[in-house]
Every structure is written in structure tokens, then in C-alpha cells.
Amino acid sequence: MSEPLKTRVKPTLDELFAVKRAERPEQSFWDDFERGLRQKQLAAIVLPRPWWHAPSLWARKAAPYGGFAAAAAALALAFTTLRAPVAFEGSANTALSASARGVVAPLDKSVAVVRPVSAPAAPAELASPPLVAAGSPAGGANGAAAEAVVVAAAIPARLEITLSASGASLAGTATAFGGDIPHFVAEPVAAEVLPLAPVLAEAPLPEGLLIEPPAVLRTRHDRLLAKALEDTPGEEDRSLAQVRERVVHRLADGEELYASITRVGVSGDRLSLKF
Amino acid sequence: MLSSTSTLDATVDAGAERRREAEADRILVERVQAGEVERFDQLVGKYRERIWAVIYHMTSNREDAADLTQDAFIKAFQSINRFQGQSSFFTWLYRIAVNGTLNHLQKNKIRRFFSLEKIRDEEPVANLLDQLADPGDASDRRACLSELQQKLNEAMQKLSNKHRTVVTLYEIDGLSHEEIAEITGTSVGTVRSRLHYAKQLMQSDLKEYLGT
């Protein structure tokens, strides 16, 4: 603090306030003030106020529409995510990467579905890039040449392969998938036998198939049956498979009933249908 | 007895004057609201010095005070259609100015550039200066004034924003407790309490310079 003021008489606080009251600018200051005020008035007229200057007004007006739009967007996104099928290219050189979403194949295609599995170890002989196989519509019925397509795709490191369209228990399939894939479990499903590839065709048919698999999944009945029997029970529970088959026959009979099915799920002794 | 009667008369006169002023403001505001926007200039000319003085004594910076005063008038002009006359125009305008200044001070806590305004040689100040310094020594008078201004500004800036607002409105602008309570949105008791506390702090801070 500086040295105290050397005055003849010390003032009171009220007298100091009187000094403060007397502090006033000169006229030139007010001229500049008027000019500045005029400019700001013009600017306020010309320049629109940013939306963040009136948040309450903006919020009041936008909140109902914003909320509705957000809800609609969320609903649409959820609907699209849950319902949209993976696009399937009609070409024989098409790889289908299975995911959590459903896979819709055209009538003239048989498809191998690939999904994650928690298998612990990778056999040493598996040393090829990740693959998904898609078979051509050519089957034994129409006599076309068989072909198999093996295409690299980005898939998880641990996979379980369910050949939903082939109907063959193809433990040897894994050998076709060399590279970095650590482990595959090939699951038999009763569907159709397709000569997908030589290595696949050599695999033995699973025992205990209840029906003759159709050559091509042409009808809705075939596709539904293939899906329903994807997780075919073992021999010890053949009656369960028979029940599933009967259910599928009933469902496939009615066009409207079948069309209303959005998802088919099989797990153990359960067959779940979502309409 | 005579003294108290004259004080009462002065209070009644001041009240009547305030009502006349408020009525004149109301008419001007209604005209502005009706589309005669040039009438707003009369309101600006009428209140600009008082508004500027309040803001200047709250900020101790003349440039900030000028900007904030202009902003207060712009805001009042933009919002004048929402003014419904439930309070007087000057109270409403003061509220805009004080709130804007408090927001500015809140955002610029660190910034402290004091500027000293020229003091007019009015009668009370001249009398005070005659007591403080030799009337014949002009340089001594200027030094006295400058140091008094500086010390008072420093003491004011040591107060909190709320206390400085009350001191400014009451001691410098001369508003009543009720008007200050309406402007600051507090009770009259709060205004009195803040005023008492602020003056105590200033007395303590300036004790080396103040007489009894």
C-alpha cells in the first residue's frame, strides 16, 4: 500500500462518495457514445440474432418437433436395423458375410451362414483367409455343374459354420478355410445337399435325417424347413424333429401365415417364430 | 419540528417528481411501442448518464461502461414491446443494465483495468478540496483528487459484485432502498444489510484516509 494521502483534513466516506458522484465524462465522450449506439442499433436490425442468444425461445419452439423427430429417427433406425436383410448379390461369385442380422437368400441360391462361436483353440491346419461359401443354384435336380465360391471376408476370429443350405455335416469343411481362422465347427443341418465344392461334397451326410433335403430351396416350405431344422436334434430326440417338421408343414401351407413370419429361431428343443 | 416537516416535504416532492417522470416515460414508451421509434432517443438522452455512471462505478472502467450502457439500451429497445408497464421504465432499464453488468463482471473476473474519470468542479467537491489541500496550489489539488479517486476505486473493487451494486445505486446514484430492491430482485432488508456491510468494509479499508 502506498503512503497515506497527506491532507490538511481527512475526509469522510460520504465526502468520498460525493467525489465519486462528480466523476463524469466530457461531451466528446457522449458524441462517441451516440455514434457507437447508432451503429449497434443498425447492427441489431441488420444482423439476425444467433439462435444461442435466445435459447429459451428456441427451446420452447423446437422442443416438441425435436423430440418427435428424435423419437421417429430412433424408431426408424431400430426398425431398419432389426428388419433390413443383408443384400444378396445374385452372382455366383458372391460372398455372404453372416452377421447378427437375418440373411435372405434368393430362391435359387443356397447359402452357408457363418456366425461367431466361442471355440477355444484353432487347429493348426486352418491357415486360410476367412471365408464364406455360397453355392450356386445348380444342384442334382437340374443337373447343372456344381461350383463353390470361396471369398475372403472380414469375419470374427472364432466362427461356427452352419451350412443351412447344404444339409451336410461337413467337419472337413474347415480345411477349406485356411489362413487365420482359428477354429470352425461345422454343424449338420437338414436342408439340401449341394455340391458346393469338392471338399464339401466329400463330407458324409449326417445320420438321422428325417427328410430328403430338397435340391434347391425354391419354396417357402423348403426354406422354412431348412431354418427350423438348422439345429437338428440328435438321434435320441427324433420326435422333436418330427414335431418341427409338422409345424413347418402347417406354416408353409398358408400363404398369409407364412408371410407374417418375421423370424425363425431354433435353439435346443425350442422352435421360436416371430410374427 | 420545523426540520422534520421540511424533510417530509422534500420526500413528498421527490415522490411526486418520480411519479411525473414515470408517467412521462410511460407515454414515451407507448409511442415507441406504437412505432415512433425515434422517441426512444429521448429515453436514451434522459437516462444515458445515470446508467453509464452506475455501470462505470461498478466496473471502474469507462470503455466497458460505455459498451455496457449501449448494450443495455439496445437490449431495452429490442425488448420494449415486452415491457408491460408493471414497473416504471427506469426501474426496468436499470435492471437490464445492472444484470448485464453483473454478467460482464462474472465473465471477466481477472480483468481489472481501472480508469479514472475527470471530476467536475461542483460545489461539494470544491469545498472538500478546499479542506483537503491548499486552494492556491493547483497541482496539490489534482494529486489529492487523483489519489482519493484511486483509493476509493480500490476499496469499491474489493467489495463483492452484489455489495458494490447496492453501494453504487444508493450512495452514488441516490436511489431508495425500495427501488434498489426492485432493481436487484431482493428484499429491502437485504438491501439495507448489504449496504451496511459494504460501508463497514470500506471504512475498514480506507481507515488511513478517512476522518471520523
**pLDDT digits 0-9 by tens, B17-43:** 888 888 899 999 999 999 888 899 999
The answer to whether position B97 is within a domain reads: yes
Please say if the pLDDT value at position B1 is more than 60. Answer: no
Contact list, A23 vs chain B (CB under 8 Å):
53, 56-57, 116-120, 149
* Range(s) of the domain holding residue B17: 1-104
A5 versus A41: which is more confidently predicted? Answer: A41
Which CATH number is B35's domain given?
A: 1.10.1740.10
Please say if the pLDDT value at position A132 is more than 50. Answer: no
The answer to whether position A7 is within a domain reads: no
The answer to whether position B115 is within a domain reads: no
Residue B124 to residue A22, Cβ atoms within 8 A: yes
A82 versus A109: which is more confidently predicted? Answer: A82
* Range(s) of the domain holding residue A76: 30-82
Asked if A9 reaches chain B (Cβ–Cβ under 8 Å), the answer is yes
The answer to whether position B69 is within a domain reads: yes
Q: Predicted confidence band at B175 (pLDDT cuts at 50, 70, 90)?
A: very high
The answer to whether position B194 is within a domain reads: no
Least confident range from A23-27, B63-67, B95-99, B169-173: namely: A23-27
A71 in the same domain as A138: no
Count of domains forming chain B: 1
Asked if A54 reaches chain B (Cβ–Cβ under 8 Å), the answer is no
Residue B70 to residue A12, Cβ atoms within 8 A: no
Residues 6+ apart with CB under 8 A from A225: A190, A191, A211, A245, A248, A252
A247 in the same domain as A115: yes
A98 in the same domain as A61: no
The answer to whether position A176 is within a domain reads: yes
Q: Predicted confidence band at A24 (pLDDT cuts at 50, 70, 90)?
A: confident
The answer to whether position B210 is within a domain reads: no
A240 phi-psi bin (left φ>0, alpha ψ -120 to 50, beta other) = alpha
- What values do phi and psi take at A63, rounded to 5? -60, -50
Residues paired with residue A264 on neighbouring β-strands, in sequence order: A273
A44 in the same domain as A139: no
Count of domains forming chain A: 2
Asked if A152 reaches chain B (Cβ–Cβ under 8 Å), the answer is no
Asked if B176 reaches chain A (Cβ–Cβ under 8 Å), the answer is no
Contact list, A24 vs chain B (CB under 8 Å):
49, 53, 117-120
Asked if A53 reaches chain B (Cβ–Cβ under 8 Å), the answer is no
A228 in the same domain as A118: yes
Please say if the pLDDT value at position A225 is more than 50. Answer: yes
Please say if the pLDDT value at position A255 is more than 50. Answer: yes
> How confident is the model at residue B20, as a pLDDT?
87
* DSSP, res B86: S
Average model confidence (pLDDT) across chain B: 84
A70 in the same domain as A37: yes
ipTM above 0.90, yes or no: no
Residue A20 to residue B152, Cβ atoms within 8 A: yes
A110 in the same domain as A71: no
The answer to whether position B184 is within a domain reads: no
A204 versus A261: which is more confidently predicted? Answer: A261
The answer to whether position B187 is within a domain reads: no
Of the ranges A74-88, A145-159, A205-219, which is most confident? A74-88
Please say if the pLDDT value at position A165 is more than 70. Answer: no
